[in-house]
Structure 1
């Protein structure tokens, strides 16, 4: 019988992001294997908890809309867990640390997002570096109190090990290949008033519009290109991006938040997925795009250096090189059919089932 896992996370429904999707997908697969995985998360009125979901008291986070800070509470329903798994290191994550100590159970931590990435929500200017350094110090403190750390890529593992964190195992987040599959996107294009297939190339991105994602590079690369650029999602940088797009010689459209059910159609509608973010620990949206047969152009930094197989599933460009970004997009559009074929052939290797196999191996190790 698989062990009973108590997952503690500072981000969960109704907040929509990669951490939420990963926890939900792993939980479902764990249950399919006969295991139990409870989730402890900041409560929010907009989400009605399902069995095994345990909201704790929370307050809105003033610097980021729809995000809540949860109390480090431990619901009684998870006090008999075999393993505690912290997906984030803050309020609710500290509750996981407390539980693991109180019941003398192993603590596993997932490294989804560098803590320093949150600095942009709390400070700017000369304070930004100081807040980022404090975040890194706190992150080392938290991870140093775990029995095992999970990183979603070899790049992320190497970065943690250079900082003295360990032991670290790679467990990719994995892609739900039942959901993300090449599909007919005709209705999606019509629904969002996008050019019909065959009338011009479509380049796009979806995800949080944060300043650290460097989406301004994407808008700059669109300048003068004979393609329609579409950005799905929302975030603090959206207004800046829209203002910059209005000054460019480019067809850039903002779709706003896309329902999870639409994402397979969105990826399939694109000729190329563009990903300029240099701060990814894996880049799950890139893998989702590839699973839908869409090649990816991404910055040659962070985990995207390994997520994208250069010349096989897309192309890289060097950080800050807008001309190189534009060239890589043009090359991917020209080679789209061959790149797409390789992406499709690698769908099985991206599957979340492989990820849960690796997760189970980590749990076996700490037990």
Structure 2
């Protein structure tokens, strides 16, 4: 650092869960942090230590990662008393702080002036399977999000479609809001290593959790009689916050031997997954965007998703798929059979639109410009 620059970091990213944890929200934070670090930015990430085996401080792919110990969990929410103060400490050493909501601690982090611009990325209204405890948790997070958004200098949403139907729209509407789609990796060029037959292969990739609506996908697939058809279910079910529905998916696979449970996929395995399928399914009952479906589209694979604000946006923006009602196996089946019949030219044109709309470089450019507007050093855009 020069003597004129007392800031250790250009950007501090604050997020509850960070890599190696896998979720859409985590991936946005990771790709953003690592992408800007690759452009020469000095980036710190502050997260909770969701796995006690992880170090409290490390460098991952050019990013300094700070973690706060977790003492308990409520639903998906980690309880880490030291997290707000750790975020504030690293934020004060940075030019801009980027908070990723929903986050219970947001109001505490911004309770006192940080003396650093706050850019908040609001991913989704928190949804948890309803119980007395989770209802209280959702209410607390909602209050914290309201406070944090009001105290933010700028707000990023994945799409205006997501924002306009949010329970916090009254605040988002009057905020300094930018719609920046989540960064999606170009997964083209994989090998069809998961393909078994010449029949249609339908894929799902994501956390194996209640809000992804996998029960409805399983029911829809059961009504496709082709013995050569396959349903490939990829994603984490071992370390997901809030609990998994893997037992129900395993039971379904026992009834229907055409279902394959692939588990957590990383790196080239994800490329190979997309190369192995003919249609992607995202039957969520709560969704903010769906990075996996956008990446599938970029590979020429149409997506069938549910009519949820934000979650439907990638399909509506590109035309690369179909939108159906949530919790509707019959509608899901009809839409899947429709897109399975799309020809190569239709898929190619849809992939082109998706690559233009959701590529990583465009996302990084827009975030970088926003951070620069709010205090990041001019040289950090290189």
- Alignment correspondent of 2:241: none
- Alignment correspondent of 2:201: 202
Q: How does 1:56-75 map to 2 (within 5 A)?
A: 56-61=68-73, 63=75, 69=80, 71-74=83-86
1:9 and 1:93 in contact (8 A); partners too:
no
- Alignment correspondent of 2:118: 107
Question: Which of 54, 59, 64 is the matching residue for 1:52?
Answer: 64
Offset, 1:276:
0.7
Does the alignment pair 1:318 with 2:286?
Answer: no
Deviations 1:204-231 (A, max 9, x none): 1011112122111101100131221111
Deviations 1:175-233 (A, max 9, x none): 122xx114322xx22xxxx514xx21110101111212211110110013122111111
Instruction: Find the aligned partners of 1:85 and 1:57 in 2 and give their Cα distance.
Output: 21
- Alignment correspondent of 2:44: 38
| 3-state SS of paired residue (1:316) | strand
| Cα RMSD for the two superposed structures | 2.9
Aligned residues: 348
Does the alignment pair 1:275 with 2:282?
Answer: yes
Decide which moves more: 51-60 or 144-153: 51-60
Instruction: Find the aligned partners of 1:134 and 1:283 in 2 and give their Cα distance.
Output: 25
Deviations 1:103-143 (A, max 9, x none): x111111112322x1x32xx52x665555444433322232
Does the alignment pair 1:97 with 2:110?
Answer: yes
Instruction: Find the aligned partners of 2:148 and 2:171 in 1 and give their Cα distance.
Output: 13
Offset, 1:85:
0.9
Instruction: Find the aligned partners of 2:95 and 2:134 in 1 and give their Cα distance.
Output: 39
> Given the two structures, how large is their TM-score scaled by the length of structure 1?
0.84
Question: Which of 356, 363, 371 is the matching residue for 1:355?
Answer: 363
| 3-state SS of paired residue (2:188) | coil
Instruction: Find the aligned partners of 2:14 and 2:169 in 1 and give their Cα distance.
Output: 26
Gaps of 5+ in 2: 238-243, 376-382
Offset, 1:325:
1.0
Distance 1:86 1:308, change over 3 A: same
| 3-state SS of paired residue (2:86) | coil
Instruction: Find the aligned partners of 2:71 and 2:138 in 1 and give their Cα distance.
Output: 23
Instruction: Find the aligned partners of 1:261 and 1:73 in 2 and give their Cα distance.
Output: 38
Q: How does 1:229-248 map to 2 (within 5 A)?
A: 229-235=231-237, 236-247=244-255
Does the alignment pair 1:144 with 2:150?
Answer: yes
1:310 and 1:316 in contact (8 A); partners too:
no
Question: Which of 20, 24, 27 is the matching residue for 2:30?
Answer: 24
Question: Which of 261, 273, 289 is the matching residue for 1:266?
Answer: 273
Does the alignment pair 1:335 with 2:342?
Answer: yes
Question: Which of 294, 309, 314 is the matching residue for 1:287?
Answer: 294
| 3-state SS of paired residue (2:28) | helix
Instruction: Find the aligned partners of 1:336 and 1:203 in 2 and give their Cα distance.
Output: 16
Instruction: Find the aligned partners of 2:151 and 2:37 in 1 and give their Cα distance.
Output: 28
Instruction: Find the aligned partners of 2:138 and 2:234 in 1 and give their Cα distance.
Output: 28
> Given the two structures, how large is their TM-score scaled by the length of structure 2?
0.81
Does the alignment pair 1:175 with 2:184?
Answer: yes
Decide which moves more: 85-94 or 257-266: 85-94
Deviations 1:19-74 (A, max 9, x none): 22222211222123322221111134444521521122323526459x67462232
Instruction: Find the aligned partners of 1:31 and 1:195 in 2 and give their Cα distance.
Output: 40
Decide which moves more: 48-57 or 307-316: 307-316
Offset, 1:352:
1.1
Q: How does 1:122-133 map to 2 (within 5 A)?
A: 123-124=130-131, 129=135, 131-133=137-139
- Alignment correspondent of 1:213: 212
Offset, 1:148:
1.5
Gaps of 5+ in 1: none
Instruction: Find the aligned partners of 2:358 and 2:247 in 1 and give their Cα distance.
Output: 34
1:296 and 1:308 in contact (8 A); partners too:
yes
